[in-house]
Amino acid sequence: MNTLSYDIAVIGGGPAGLAAAVKARELGMDRILLVERDYELGGILQQCIHDGFGLLRFKKQLSGCQYAQKFIDLVAEGGIDVLCDTMVLELTDDRRIYAVSAQEGLLEIRAQAVILAMGCRERTRSQVSIMGSRPAGVLTAGSVQRYINMEGYLPGKKAVILGSGDIGLIMARRMTLEGIEVEGVYEVMSSLGGLRRNKVQCLDDYGISLHLSTTVTKIHGNKRVEAVTVALVGSDGKPVRETERVIPCDLLVLSVGLIPENELSRKAGVQLHPVTRGPVVDDTMMTSIPGVFAAGNVVAVFDLVDYVSRSGEIAAQGAVDFIRRQSARGNMVDTVAGSNVGFVLPQRVNADCGGKEINLYLRVRKPMKDVRAEIVCNGKILKSTRYGVANPPEMIALRFVPDGPLDGPLTVDVR
């Protein structure tokens, strides 16, 4: 087995891992390794050929691939070591990484700091109960995206989409442009699962109907999907049988949520959060294991790639400070998801952070209009920001600079 030694090893070459590696180089780290299981860098962005990426960072509407390429170029310019086609199999709590590749065989990588940037994966049919056999033609939205945008296949002729997450909305438009008839998008919840801008640009502009409080109850067909049954969902969350109708189609596209990819983290003993399902992190993105940091969708599903990249840069700064022993962690205070808040990231911040910028990310539990997001510490409001609307799919990012040490938990309320 080959053994490699680095200052910082980054697992995952998507936007989070790329930004982390580039930032660590900017901060003067010499020996940085980026490990990616795919044959090229870029992560999920390589299959996102639509625009809308990088509005905050570059003030431009880039495609996912263009956004990723900007960072891939910086990785090359910085001479950062990259191992593609290399799958990390295990991480230990003393920061040893075991990975395998066809070229190198089994590798042991030792690093002073590790940054987890493995992204997220889609929920599949096994996570949503739908009656019927297992015919071909039931695919996740991400698989359809990969088939059409990267492999050059049309996976069906007439599609029904279950779930109104962003990838499903984007694929409704993409399939329409490629000549697949999209019958409609069916959403079990009473509100949209994705961003409003995606509904307008991907459904409304193409005359594709959205059916809220409606779900797919049965898949018909043995070898290939022949039809699906849809039904309204009652206030008890159960399908109303009398409203069932059968829609002929040969493709059922699932857009029913994303799950942070944390098998490696779990096995290493990293503490995971029950709501985000990603590592519990502090304001330097350090996990519960000293020297192991995490960034991007592996921590929680972010909505904007700009936030993903930012989290990678914060993790890189944290990792560099950790290696240089500049991150005296001192007293930590928790962040608390208060009124109408589902979760707050990071879950801990350094109490002695006076004068230092803190970035908090949160999602609300239910849609609300005309609200204030308030950060409260020991009864004192540290920041208050007004929003016309607050929707669960749209992350709220709050930046603030405390003027002194924090003397209690930081509670975030949206009301």
* 145 near ligand FAD, judged by CB under 6 A: yes
Stretch that binds ligand FAD, among 148-156, 282-290, 296-304, 315-323 (CB under 6 A): 296-304
Smallest separation, CB 250 to ligand FAD (Å): 21
* 397 near ligand FAD, judged by CB under 6 A: no
Smallest separation, CB 310 to ligand FAD (Å): 11
Applying CB under 6 A, which of residues 20, 21, 75, 119 lies at the interface with ligand FAD?
Answer: 119
Match 């609200």 to its residue by tokens: 371
- Residues in region 307-336 near ligand FAD by CB under 6 A: 308
Stretch that binds ligand FAD, among 9-17, 55-63, 373-381, 395-403 (CB under 6 A): 9-17
* 12 near ligand FAD, judged by CB under 6 A: yes
- Please give the Cα distance from 6 to 186 (Å, whole number): 48
Applying CB under 6 A, which of residues 80, 88, 397, 412 lies at the interface with ligand FAD?
Answer: 88
Smallest separation, CB 388 to ligand FAD (Å): 22
* 15 near ligand FAD, judged by CB under 6 A: yes
β-pairing, 368-377 vs 410-414, is antiparallel
Nearest to ligand FAD of 145, 347 (CB atom):
145
Applying CB under 6 A, which of residues 4, 22, 29, 37 lies at the interface with ligand FAD?
Answer: 37
- Please give the Cα distance from 401 to 362 (Å, whole number): 17
* 258 near ligand FAD, judged by CB under 6 A: yes
- Helical residues (DSSP H) of 41-99, grouped into ranges: 55-58, 64-77
Amino acid at 75: V
* 43 near ligand FAD, judged by CB under 6 A: yes
Applying CB under 6 A, which of residues 296, 318, 338, 393 lies at the interface with ligand FAD?
Answer: 296
Smallest separation, CB 325 to ligand FAD (Å): 28
* 17 near ligand FAD, judged by CB under 6 A: yes
Alpha carbon of 42 to those of 19, 142, 216, 235, 306: distances in Å?
11, 15, 34, 42, 14
Please state at what angle helix 64-77 crosses helix 305-323, rounded to 10 degrees.
Answer: 20
CB 20 within 8 A of CB 9: no
Stretch that binds ligand FAD, among 199-207, 276-284, 297-305, 360-368 (CB under 6 A): 297-305
Alpha carbon of 98 to those of 26, 82, 111: distances in Å?
27, 15, 11
Smallest separation, CB 360 to ligand FAD (Å): 18
- Please give the Cα distance from 191 to 364 (Å, whole number): 13
Enumerate residues 6+ apart whose C-beta is below 8 A from 249.
Answer: 156, 158, 159, 160, 183, 225, 226, 227, 228
- 160 phi, psi to nearest 5 deg: -115, 135
SS3 assignment, position 279: strand
> Which residues of the chain form contacts with ligand FAD (CB under 6 A)?
11-17, 35-38, 43-45, 48, 87-88, 117-122, 142, 145, 166-167, 170, 258, 261, 264, 296-298, 305, 308
